[in-house]
Structure 1
Amino acid sequence: MDPRRVDYTGEGISESDLLDTPYAQIRLWVDEAVTRADAQDDVPEPYALSVATADAQGRPNVRTVLMRFLDERGPGFVTATTSTKGREIGETGYLAAALTWPAMFRSIRFRGRAVPVDADELQGYWASRPWASRISAWASQQSQPTDSRADLEAAFEERAAQFPDTGSDDDVPVPDFWGGYRVLPDEVELWGGRRNRLHDRIVYTRVGEGDLGDAGSWEVSRRQP
């Protein structure tokens, strides 16, 4: 394979650029990615979140989901708890996740404990999903094999008949095998691409019990690229 050479022309990030708390800095970068997505077509999905887990033998799995929650506790997403990721989170209790915006030469990595999303938050998000998305959650036995696309679409039609669209937020109940997880990070890394591969890596490492909104609970350091 011929290597493709692209010199990253991002602005990077320095310690003097950082806002007062990790959460404020994370929120700023996420908001800037959303603004860019709305203005240009080079950030098609600013909430795309790569989630890495490991099985009982330590073999890693990574997949991309959508970040559906973000506050001072950390980022969160929804999934079938019976899926591969759900089972592996149950086995280890840990995960890693990353938001990456190549066009902006930026990425944010999170490493930490996985905790279930609160029931009230989960219900609120479920009610905000379009009817067809709620039906899909019922129809898909996530991560399990299927014989064909036709079988999957037949399962969708079966659930659609079971839970018809009435225009109500509660016309489709939350499946008992569906939930969400939040990363409670012990480490957050901001990556900014720079020329000549001398990228910036600014790391927040937990030193206290506070959340991402508590500046005193985090130590800032720099790693070599």
Structure 2
Amino acid sequence: MAPVELTNPDFTTREDPFALFGEWLEEAKKSEINDPNATSLATVDSDGLPNVRMVLLKDYDEDGFVFYTNFESQKGEEILATKKAAMCFHWKSLRRQVRLRGAVTVVDDAEADAYFASRARGSRIGAWASKQSRPLESRFALEKEVAKFTAKYAVGEIPRPPHWSGFRIAPVYIEFWKDGAFRLHDRVIFRRETETAPWTRTRFYP
């Protein structure tokens, strides 16, 4: 019987998880049909029950991974209460996955303002019109809110709503996973005690 071949282990020797993530994300941009920056975001509510949903990663660097949302939404309130969250990127076309978790901080106003200004005008109106995660009596009610704020901000710049900003996850755990034949996957885990501590790297069984 021929020996089972493991997947290419090259990435398992890398020292910098942020650089490796950047390379994988760039490859995903070339192969994923829609939203290569899409990620599942996990939080926990006041009863300790987990919640997960998809969001879009908007920025990342060695300080962490950034996404934006309505702070009065379910995820916004849960993150503000716990200051912790986790993400999972899955790129099916590449058969790769990245998981991370850590403490969460709010981005500064200048960063949030700059990103908000870069959004399409309709998306900026939507940030004002949507009472995210709260009951909606009808689609018409939402359209009325959109019309109201479209009229209010018919000309000039649209300011960022005070309840809308960004969160940054500073990971203390990042796992890179690559599919392997016969489920003999490659898994490499980077850990650190704090957001400023050095990383340790460990290879895990599949």
TM-score normalised according to structure 1 size: 0.84
SS of 1:103 mapped into structure 2? coil
SS of 2:34 mapped into structure 1? coil
Unaligned stretches of 5+ residues in structure 2: 1-5
Task: Give a deviation string over 1:53-111, Cα, whole Å, max 9, x none.
Answer: 00121100001011111111121100001111111112211100111111110111111
Matched ranges for 1:42-81 at <5 A: 43-81=33-71
SS of 1:89 mapped into structure 2? helix
Aligned equivalent of 2:171: 185
1:126 Cα offset (Å):
0.7
Contact 1:117–1:181 (CA under 8 A) maintained in structure 2: yes
Q: Which amino acid aligns with 1:85?
A: K
Contact 1:65–1:77 (CA under 8 A) maintained in structure 2: yes
Q: Which amino acid aligns with 1:30?
A: L
Q: Which amino acid aligns with 1:31?
A: E
Q: Percent same amino acid among aligned pairs?
A: 37
CA RMSD of aligned residues (A): 1.7
1:74–1:13 CA distance, 2 compared to 1 (3 A): farther
Contact 2:60–2:66 (CA under 8 A) maintained in structure 1: yes
1:148–1:12 CA distance, 2 compared to 1 (3 A): farther
CA distance, structure 2, for counterparts of residue 118 and residue 14 of structure 1: 39
1:94–1:13 CA distance, 2 compared to 1 (3 A): farther
SS of 1:56 mapped into structure 2? coil
Aligned equivalent of 2:21: 26
Q: 1:114 aligns with which of 89, 99, 104?
A: 104
Contact 1:15–1:202 (CA under 8 A) maintained in structure 2: no
Q: Which amino acid aligns with 1:177?
A: H
Unaligned stretches of 5+ residues in structure 1: 1-10, 38-42, 212-216
Aligned equivalent of 1:210: 196
Q: Which amino acid aligns with 1:61?
A: N
Aligned equivalent of 1:6: none
CA distance, structure 2, for counterparts of residue 189 and residue 20 of structure 1: 13
CA distance, structure 2, for counterparts of residue 133 and residue 51 of structure 1: 21
Q: Which amino acid aligns with 1:221?
A: T
Task: Give a deviation string over 1:141-199, Cα, whole Å, max 9, x none.
Answer: 11111011111111111110011154xxxx10010111110111110000111111111
Task: Give a deviation string over 1:108-149, Cα, whole Å, max 9, x none.
Answer: 111100111122111110110011010000000111110111
TM-score normalised according to structure 2 size: 0.91
Q: Which amino acid aligns with 2:202?
A: S
Q: Give yes or no for the alignment of 1:197 onto 2:180.
A: no
CA distance, structure 1, for counterparts of residue 48 and residue 8 of structure 2: 33
CA distance, structure 2, for counterparts of residue 110 and residue 186 of structure 1: 8
CA distance, structure 2, for counterparts of residue 209 and residue 78 of structure 1: 21
CA distance, structure 2, for counterparts of residue 35 and residue 155 of structure 1: 38
Q: Which amino acid aligns with 2:169?
A: V
Q: Give yes or no for the alignment of 1:124 onto 2:146.
A: no
Q: How many residue pairs align between the two structures?
A: 201
Q: Which amino acid aligns with 1:187?
A: Y
Q: Give yes or no for the alignment of 1:150 onto 2:136.
A: no
Range moving further from structure 2, 114-123 or 138-147:
114-123
1:85–1:157 CA distance, 2 compared to 1 (3 A): same
1:208 Cα offset (Å):
5.7
Q: Which has the higher contact order (CA 8 A, sep 6+)?
A: 1
Q: Which amino acid aligns with 1:218?
A: W
SS of 2:103 mapped into structure 1? strand
